[in-house]
Amino acid sequence: MPVTNSDLARRIHAVSHLTGQFTLRSGRTATEYFDKYRFEGDPALLDEIAQRMAPLVPSGTEVLAGLEMGGIPVVTALGRHTGLPCAFVRKQAKPYGTCRLAEGTEVAGRRVLVVEDVVTSGGQIVLSTADLRVLGAVVSEALCVIDREQGGADALAAEGISLLSLLTAEDLRTATAR
């Protein structure tokens, strides 16, 4: 029997949903936390996620660009399923070695798909896309595992970037409510 998005959402939730006392980036506290690194650290689940994401890669994409840090495992797994070369995009260029912002395959003059694990506000994709465009990349889409549906798609659209997602926050809520 084929795996559905609901099945996948349930598995991601089961692995990543934590309860306890957590301090969020905002400084607020919460009794629930979604630890995205748990699904990224599960090789079988990450492989299944990438397999399901592969058909979402827009036709004509030449390079998959994973954003530091969560997008790196996702883009690596996705590259395995699509056969497309990968670039690994830092938040800032390192001051030693190659001193590059985008490591891996060359992005200049190529159609690049930005890959991220979870999108909330879309802020890092906006920043990284601007950096990639300065490097000569052609970026018009971003692909994520989960869109938290908290304004990210609108923020990206304002920058000329369409957001594609495997799952949404609503998908996770619906799948775990059953």
Q: Looking at residue 92, what is its pLDDT?
A: 87
**140 a known binding residue?**
no
Task: Report the alpha-carbon distance of residue 30 to residue 111 in Å, rounded.
Answer: 40
Q: Looking at residue 97, what is its pLDDT?
A: 83
- Tell whether 148 is covered by a domain: yes
**70 a known binding residue?**
no
**122 a known binding residue?**
yes
Task: Report the alpha-carbon distance of residue 127 to residue 142 in Å, rounded.
Answer: 12
**43 SS3 class:** helix
The pTM (predicted TM-score) of the whole model is 0.93
**165 a known binding residue?**
no
- Tell whether 13 is covered by a domain: no
The CATH number of the domain where 155 resides is what? 3.40.50.2020
**131 a known binding residue?**
no
**81 contacts 54 by C-beta, under 8 angstroms:** yes
What is the number of structural domains in the chain? 1
Expressed as residue numbers, the domain containing 95 is: 50-171
**110 a known binding residue?**
no
Kindly report the length of the chain: 178
**93 contacts 99 by C-beta, under 8 angstroms:** yes
Average confidence (pLDDT) per 10 residues, the chain, 178 residues = 79 92 82 90 96 97 96 97 97 84 95 95 94 97 94 96 95 82
**112 a known binding residue?**
no
Task: Report the alpha-carbon distance of residue 137 to residue 109 in Å, rounded.
Answer: 5
**38 a known binding residue?**
no
Task: Report the alpha-carbon distance of residue 80 to residue 152 in Å, rounded.
Answer: 27
- Tell whether 113 is covered by a domain: yes
- Tell whether 10 is covered by a domain: no
- Tell whether 76 is covered by a domain: yes
Q: Looking at residue 23, what is its pLDDT?
A: 87
**27 a known binding residue?**
no
- Tell whether 136 is covered by a domain: yes
Q: Looking at residue 28, what is its pLDDT?
A: 83
- Tell whether 28 is covered by a domain: no
Task: Report the alpha-carbon distance of residue 139 to residue 136 in Å, rounded.
Answer: 9
**100 a known binding residue?**
no
